[in-house]
Amino acid sequence: MANNRTFTMIKPDAFGAGNSGAILKMIEEAGFKIVAMKATKLSPEMAGKFYEVHSERPFYAALCAYMSSGPILPVILEKDNAVEDFRKLIGATNPADAAEGTIRKIFATSIEANAVHGSDSDENAAIEGNFFFSQFERVL
């Protein structure tokens, strides 16, 4: 994926609460362009693959169950400095630690159900974007 792109997904808590539109509005108002987006639902096995890097962590099983508990909205975004700027926009993993005005501060309910994902590097953005959109060569 181009270096000016990043990958996000709106997680089941935010999708289920009907907050997808408000979150996408914040993302666009922060200067990101939506390149690709689809609603889908992960099986526990697919959630396990997506979060494989965390397979040794104590929260892994709960995370996979949660991430497969309802629909999600994977999205590819474009902006200069996309990965870093998007991590700033979403805030800390735990909403209790997230800065005021960040997406997680506003919409997350817990450290697990934290509303959105944001890739942490260009390399992972490419891997994660490819996980959901491999059929669309032009967005990757």
- The yes-or-no answer on residue 54 being catalytic is no
Lookup result for tokens 């959630």: 47
Residue 104 labelled as part of a binding site: yes
137: Cβ–Cβ under 8 A, 6 or more apart, which residues? none
Residue 59 labelled as part of a binding site: yes
Tell me: does residue 117 bind ligand ATP (CB under 6 A): yes
Tell me: does residue 130 bind ligand ATP (CB under 6 A): no
Q: CB of 97 within 8 A of CB of 105? A: no
Considering only residues 3 to 62 of the shown chain, the ones binding ligand ATP according to CB under 6 A are: 54, 59
Which range touches ligand ATP (CB under 6 A), out of 17-25, 32-40, 77-85, 117-125?
117-125
Q: CB of 54 within 8 A of CB of 63? A: yes
* CA–CA distances in Å: residue 12 to residues 56, 134, 136, 140: 23, 22, 24, 24
| Residues near ligand ATP (CB under 6 A) | 54, 59, 63, 93, 111-112, 114, 117-118, 120
**What residues are annotated to the active site?**
117
